[in-house]
Amino acid sequence: MPAPGRPSLFVLAALAVLTAGAVALSLATSPPVAEQQLYVGAGATAGVGSFVMSLTNTVTTRAALPGRPPQVQRSSVRFVYQAPDRIDETLTNANGRAVEIICIGNSRWERAAGGHWVRIPGGATGAVSTCQSAVDTVVLVPANAAANGTPVVRHGQTSNATYTYGLAPADLAAVFRILFGVPATAVASHAFAATVDKEYVVSQLFHAAAGDQTDDIGVRYSELGTAPAVTPPPSA
């Protein structure tokens, strides 16, 4: 019989087995290290509260005749984002024409480069504002895609690494619909990557190919947490 106040060897052995089992279960159910690092970086960027996000879209069309150069078209969009529902968006098309849109709550204004601001009729009021919906379904889509990446492979050092990743079918369909404007069935191949610098995702790449075209969307984040204030235009 064990001395009073001292647990038996049977009890100690049982506790050791339970502890080892709990550790094994935790290791088995937690995401791999690369996935955790990417998730933390993507979550930090999405949740920082404000940032500038610059997207460059490059569409390359292979020439129909051998020896001819491919046709390349580029467009870009720049978002200044402030949580929860403020966006200043500047879209520059392949011809170099720019349009700026300011979206705050349910209020929106638009102007061509150098032109006058025009108020756009507001969306329906509700629990989620028009601009909050735009944040959720457009602005945060790239970062949220990385936050849902699986499987994930890390390339480089932990403090400044690039991560390639896949997506589950539902997340993949959303990326193709929102970023590329096509259904998943239209894409023959794709590749996604994100770069994490210290604790933030600072850039991303989305690549898709189908038929004679490839589409590359580059995303860069800057002024994390220090982006300029998004305010109504002076004439509003």
| pLDDT tens for the 236 residues of the chain, in order | 455 555 554 444 444 544 455 443 333 344 579 999 999 999 999 999 999 999 999 999 998 888 889 999 999 999 999 999 999 999 999 888 999 999 999 999 999 988 999 999 866 566 789 999 999 999 999 999 999 999 999 998 777 899 999 999 999 999 999 999 999 999 999 999 999 998 999 999 999 999 999 999 999 999 999 999 999 998 75
Whole-number pLDDT of residue 172: 97
216-227 residue pLDDT tens: 999 999 999 999
List domains and CATH numbers for the chain. Answer: 33-222 (2.50.20.20)
Contacts of 117 (CB under 8 A, 6+ apart): 102, 109, 110, 111, 233, 234, 235, 236
Whole-number pLDDT of residue 233: 93
Backbone φ, ψ for residue 28 (5° rounding): -75, -30
107-135 residue pLDDT tens: 999 999 889 999 998 665 667 899 999 99
What is the full DSSP assignment across 209-220?
A: EETTEEEEEEEE
Q: Which residue in the block uniquely carries the two structure tokens 């690369």?
A: 34
Q: Is the dihedral of CA 83, 87, 92, 93 positive or negative?
A: positive
Whole-number pLDDT of residue 128: 82
Q: Quote the CA–CA distance of 39 and 62 in Å, as a whole number.
A: 36
Whole-number pLDDT of residue 18: 47
Report the chain's mean pLDDT, rounded to a whole number.
87
